[in-house]
Structure 1
Amino acid sequence: MIEHVTLLAVERMLMSSAAIPLEMLEASRARLRLQRRPEAGFKVEIAAQEAGPVNVLGGFPVFPQRTLAELQRSDLIIVPALWRNPKALLRRYQPTIDWLRQQYQQGASVFAVGTGVCLLAEAGILNGKPATTHWHYLDQFERDYPAVVLQRNHLLTQAERIFCAASVNSGADMMVHLLGLLFGRDCALQVEQQFSPEVRNPFEKKVFYADGRHQHGDEDVALLQTWLQHNFRETVTLSQLADMAGLSPRQLDRRFKQSCGETPLKFLQRLRCDHARDLLQNTNLSVADIAAACGYSDSGYFIRVFKQYAQQTPGQFRQKVRAKLFTSEVADR
């Protein structure tokens, strides 16, 4: 259970890269309190290398509650994005870099946004691991940190307990994923609905994983996953899937869950619902047409499945999305 979160305060940091994670954490706390869950008791503190105010981008002061030397242990550390080239700034932050390395070695998870990833690279905890950073800094990052496996085509990466987001917007996506890991999928979905569901695509479509969770060793299951990804519209039963894999339904269910964390039919429903989200956001197709396009012959059943998956009906999801896709000028015509 997470007990302590540290927001690292650094000169010339982008407040948006810190404010969004903090607001999402507080939204999670509110939901956890309503459910009377003990996880709501986590503490969030702003900490800096030295005592006194830290000037963020624009010259506004942030007042840390603790110095890093006073913090012996934290469960999650949020490292904000830094404005422009961070190279000169990094030279002044060796104690912060050492503290990050120590905290990670003690078991902390670290989430960095944009060029804040450089602090992790300087600490050496990204060596041999994938990472991403702001697109404007990719070339220099690759020159400065050749031991890091830079992922130029991914906005999000996860390597063990290290989470990187290339930008403030992708940082919001990563926070939803983190909240799911910390507090459960239902809590993460509620926060997602509160914070810009229209700009978020399913996390799994964009992330680069380093832990091999999607490259597991069960070849039969992997082949079946690939088939489902290309044929999710097909009507299929567990028995039919088991026949394809040359297993009994019970064996397939057990091995699929062991490898992927969910049953084959749950995996199929998720694929269909992910596709439905895209169609709801980007087309004018009716709910019935979207149900058919996703492999559901019964639109009522589709609505029930989607609501279970997204904690809202297809119509509610579309309404939230469309309300922010059009300006008031267009709406007035």
Structure 2
Amino acid sequence: MKHISILVPLGHTSLPNIDGSHQILSQVNTFMADMGKPPLFNVQLVGLDNHIPQRNGMFTIKPDVLVTDVAKTDLIIIPAMYGDIAEVVEANKVFLPWIVEQYQKGAQIASLCIGAFFLASTGLLDGKQAATHWSLAHVFRQIYPDVNLVDDKIMTEDDGIYTSGGAYSYLNLLVYLVEKFAGREIAILISKSFMIDIDRISQSPFIIFQGQKAHEDEPVKKAQEFIENNFADRITVDQLADMLALGRRSLERRFKHATSNTVTEYIQRVKIEAAKKSFESSRKNINEVMYDVGYTDTKAFRTVFKKVTGLSPVEYRNKYNKELAA
């Protein structure tokens, strides 16, 4: 039987992450019993105190065991933890050496949504792939530059460490873990019972690109603003460099450092974000939207759109414009 440790941190934590993980993994045991098989998981809530208040005292979680009582576990689940990351880490620092020790003993680790920030603070994600909520991807990269963040994925797996993307995508990771530990048949039963879309791997369709301006490089900000105000035009790196009186290589280096995107990638993302909004709210056809955002090559537009969103223009419009889909 595999021991599952669902962490119950101090501070504001995602209750759905904790309760949902407990419910789904416990249901696996129910299905196993229905098949005449022994339980697969011993699921426990693991905390730092016997009573942990949540939501300003609105809820209280009573862990099954304290972290000091768990000598060996097989899977650690880290829920989303809200607030200033430095304060979150300080309040829950007792977990950190225990997580590292358990991983070294062979335990696997799964962080849910922005729980990746806490997991990254252990150092175990350095050099590994990770996902987190797309809206905090740029902040994550600034704090943990040694982690290979892939903000378009809904989940990652790297050397026994799993991470999930934004919000309720943790359900997709849980189904994936169920399949890994209990097999495809049980995973399908779980996905049907909880109505979770099995095999979904991308969070790209949900990303709202808002630009990455949490930096102090003013010329780069001016370049970003110019791109956002003139995205329908043909914009080149040389044009931006001349406008800002910078060398091309200097601009490209500074732009990448400040935004985590190349200039070309940023231009593409601004164009595609404008196209997404048009598909969501207008009755324009694919070619009209394509021309509006500055593309003249249908194949190029479709290729970039799918790369950014994970969906074709037609799929995206049908998914998010109910008036046209009806």
Separation (CA, whole Å) in 2 of partners of 1:94 and 1:43? 25
Kindly indicate whether the alpha-carbon contact (under 8 Å) linking 2:80 and 2:112 is maintained by their aligned counterparts in 1: yes
Q: What letter matches 1:17 in structure 2?
A: N
Q: Determine the structure 2 residue equivalent to 1:67.
A: 66
**What whole-Å deviation, never above 9, does each CA across 1:252-272 have from its counterpart, x for those lacking one?**
xxxxxxxxxxxxxxxxxxxxx
Q: Determine the structure 1 residue equivalent to 2:199.
A: 202
2:20 corresponds to 1:20:
yes
Separation (CA, whole Å) in 2 of partners of 1:178 and 1:188? 8
Q: Determine the structure 1 residue equivalent to 2:37.
A: 37
* Deviation (angstroms), 1:84: 3.8
Separation (CA, whole Å) in 1 of partners of 2:199 and 2:186? 15
Separation (CA, whole Å) in 2 of partners of 1:179 and 1:201? 11
2:46 corresponds to 1:47:
yes
**Which ranges of structure 2 fall in alignment gaps of 5 or more residues?**
205-326
2:98 corresponds to 1:96:
no
Kindly indicate whether the alpha-carbon contact (under 8 Å) linking 1:14 and 1:56 is maintained by their aligned counterparts in 2: no
* Deviation (angstroms), 1:178: 0.5
Give the SS at the match of 2:121: helix
Give the SS at the match of 1:82: coil
How many percent of aligned residue pairs carry the same amino acid? Answer: 23
**What whole-Å deviation, never above 9, does each CA across 1:54-101 have from its counterpart, x for those lacking one?**
122353110112111111011111111112443311122222111111
* Deviation (angstroms), 1:130: 0.5
**What whole-Å deviation, never above 9, does each CA across 1:179-235 have from its counterpart, x for those lacking one?**
0111110000001001124xx2524x4399xxxxxxxxxxxxxxxxxxxxxxxxxxx
* Deviation (angstroms), 1:41: 4.9
Report 1:187-266 matches (<5 A). 187-197=186-196, 200-203=197-200, 205-206=201-202
Q: Determine the structure 2 residue equivalent to 1:7.
A: 6
Structure with bigger helix share is: 1
Q: Determine the structure 2 residue equivalent to 1:241.
A: none
2:55 aligned residue (54, 57, 60) = 57
Q: What letter matches 2:199 in structure 1?
A: P
TM-score in terms of structure 1 length: 0.57
Kindly indicate whether the alpha-carbon contact (under 8 Å) linking 2:152 and 2:203 is maintained by their aligned counterparts in 1: no
Give the SS at the match of 1:189: helix
Q: Across the two proteins, how many residue pairs are aligned to each other?
A: 202
Please provide the CA RMSD for this pair: 1.9
User: Taking structure 1 as reference, are residues 169 and 133 closer, same or farther at Cα in structure 2, changes over 3 Å only?
Assistant: same
Give the SS at the match of 2:5: strand
Q: Determine the structure 2 residue equivalent to 1:113.
A: 112
Q: What letter matches 1:14 in structure 2?
A: S
